[in-house]
């Protein structure tokens, strides 16, 4: 029975016939996987689709902004930039943020300039308070650090309540921790009456340089023409090393500033701190300390009080006098520029002490009497800045003459001495814009 069945099978199925499977259709594996995902893994498929769409929109470059109708030249990266000379007036050209060393030098047209966070040591003082006024007006956030040894709260009280203004009572001879972009270091008594009493400016400079190093801030040192001592070169250039008595009665200030410049350059070369150095010549204007021993404030206060104008020596010593608004402009240009310095910031107009007394007489009281007294020790005979370097590299030179600026200072002194409120003390803008 079994053999018969086998035989019949051979008869009904020819030996030449063999089994072959049905050929696969193209993309059959892909379609089966897709059907499976659609039928069984729908949520997974939706998530994968979202991921693919996100990737596509991420890698596609954004379209460029079309040129304005009046523009005939292509715009780089869809941004129009101010000319270089306009940037130098108000842009912080070297940094996008704290500690960044990438120079930009460009501000997008139509975009508001990003305000900086700036600390001004000695910001309640004469020069410092005027600098604070300019920085606040520019839109920066300003932190004033002052121990009020010579500074006055009255100089910055008009900023109280401004969210961009902070005031810290602190002596910079003690360390200070702040997060800032720029440091204007003005904290140092500048008159003989004060710096002989408190000769500690070098320690403050060292602390502020340490702060600049920690937070990557740009540091500006306000040095002085006193680093030239009793100069043998006239006028004085920045390359002149000076003629200074290291043990004289003025040396705590003269040599202190020379040491501060040395420390500043050491931090620049050794620690990579961005620094700027300004050598300031005689400056006058509203908010100067009354009776601080400096010649302009002495003459003005004496003339207003009907006292003799005290001229030391023969009165032939020469000085150069710049109005405070000119100095502030120079400091800001130096900070925003790309040059370390040092730079002389002063008015090259040269006056003898007798000539200055005569200008004060013309301005206040033609009948004011001049009284001669013995000269002070180590008093320099000549002092006149060569500002060629500031003109060429900063585009800066003073604009306010002595005869124009002195009446504005007299107005402020008259108010403070006699309480005359009819004449205001905020005349700085009138002088700088005239």
In contact, 309 and 303? CB cutoff 8 Å: yes
Identify the burial level of 148 via C-beta atoms within 10 angstroms of its C-beta, where 0-12 means exposed, 13-18 middle and 19 or more buried. exposed
Judge residue 327's burial from the number of C-beta atoms within 10 Å of its C-beta, 0-12 exposed, 13-18 middle, 19 or more buried.
buried
**Coil, helix or strand at residue 140:** coil
How far apart CA 187 and CA 121 sit, in angstroms, is 5
Q: Which of 228, 253, 267, 284 is catalytic?
A: 253
Distances from the Cα of 259 to the Cα of 162, 230, 427, angstroms: 37, 17, 36
Q: Which residues contact 404 (CB under 8 A, 6 or more apart)?
A: 323, 431, 434
Rounded CA-CA distance 378/298 in Å is 19
Question: How big is the chain, counted in residues?
Answer: 434
Q: Which residue has the tokens 């004011």?
A: 368
Cβ-based neighbours of 281, under 8 Å, separated by 6 or more: 225, 319, 320, 322, 344, 345, 346, 347, 383, 385
For residue 253, indicate whether it is catalytic: yes
Strand partners for 145: 121, 168
294 CB contacts (<8 Å, ≥6 apart)?
190, 191, 192, 282, 288
Distance, in Å, from the CA atom of 415 to the CA atom of 252, rounded to the nearest integer, reads: 33
Catalytically active residues, by annotation: 253
């Amino acid at each position: 029975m079994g053999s018969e069945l086998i035989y019949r099978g051979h008869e009904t199925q020819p030996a030449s016939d063999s089994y072959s499977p049905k050929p696969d259709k193209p993309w059959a594996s892909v379609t089966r996987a897709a059907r499976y995902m659609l039928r069984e893994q729908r949520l997974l498929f939706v998530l994968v689709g979202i991921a693919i769409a996100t990737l596509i929109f991420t890698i596609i470059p954004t379209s460029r902004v079309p040129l304005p109708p009046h523009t005939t030249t292509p715009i780089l990266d869809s941004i129009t930039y101010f000319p270089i000379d306009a940037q130098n007036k108000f842009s912080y050209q070297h940094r996008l943020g704290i500690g960044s060393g990438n120079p930009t030098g460009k501000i997008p047209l139509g975009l508001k300039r990003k305000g900086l966070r700036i600390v001004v040591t000695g910001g309640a003082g004469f020069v410092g308070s005027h600098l604070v006024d300019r920085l606040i007006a520019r839109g920066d956030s300003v932190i004033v650090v002052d121990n009020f040894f010579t500074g006055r709260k009255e100089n910055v009280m008009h900023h109280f309540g401004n969210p961009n203004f902070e005031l810290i009572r602190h002596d910079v001879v003690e360390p200070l921790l702040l997060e800032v972009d720029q440091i204007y270091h003005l904290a140092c008594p500048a008159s003989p009456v004060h710096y002989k009493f408190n000769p500690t400016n070098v320690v403050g400079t060292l602390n502020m340089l340490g702060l600049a190093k920690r937070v990557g801030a740009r540091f500006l040192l306000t040095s002085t023409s006193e680093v030239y001592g009793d100069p043998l070169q006239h006028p004085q250039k920045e390359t002149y090393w000076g003629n200074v008595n290291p043990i004289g009665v003025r040396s705590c200030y003269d040599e202190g500033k020379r040491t501060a410049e040395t420390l500043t350059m050491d931090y620049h070369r050794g620690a990579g701190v961005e620094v700027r150095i300004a050598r300031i010549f005689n400056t006058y204007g509203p908010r100067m300390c009354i009776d601080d021993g400096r010649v302009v404030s002495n003459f003005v206060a004496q003339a207003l009080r009907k006292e003799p104008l005290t001229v030391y020596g023969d009165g032939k010593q020469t000085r150069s006098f710049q109005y405070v608004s000119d100095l502030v402009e120079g400091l800001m240009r130096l900070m925003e520029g790309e040059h370390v310095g040092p730079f002389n910031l002063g008015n090259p107009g040269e006056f003898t002490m007798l000539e200055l007394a005569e200008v004060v007489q013309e301005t206040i009281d033609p009948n004011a009497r001049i009284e001669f007294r013995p000269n002070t020790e180590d008093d320099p005979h000549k002092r006149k800045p060569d500002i060629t370097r500031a003109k060429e590299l900063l585009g800066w030179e003073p604009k306010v003459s002595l005869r124009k600026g002195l009446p504005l200072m007299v107005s402020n002194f008259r108010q403070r001495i006699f309480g005359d409120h009819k004449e205001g003390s905020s005349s700085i803008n009138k002088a700088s814009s005239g």
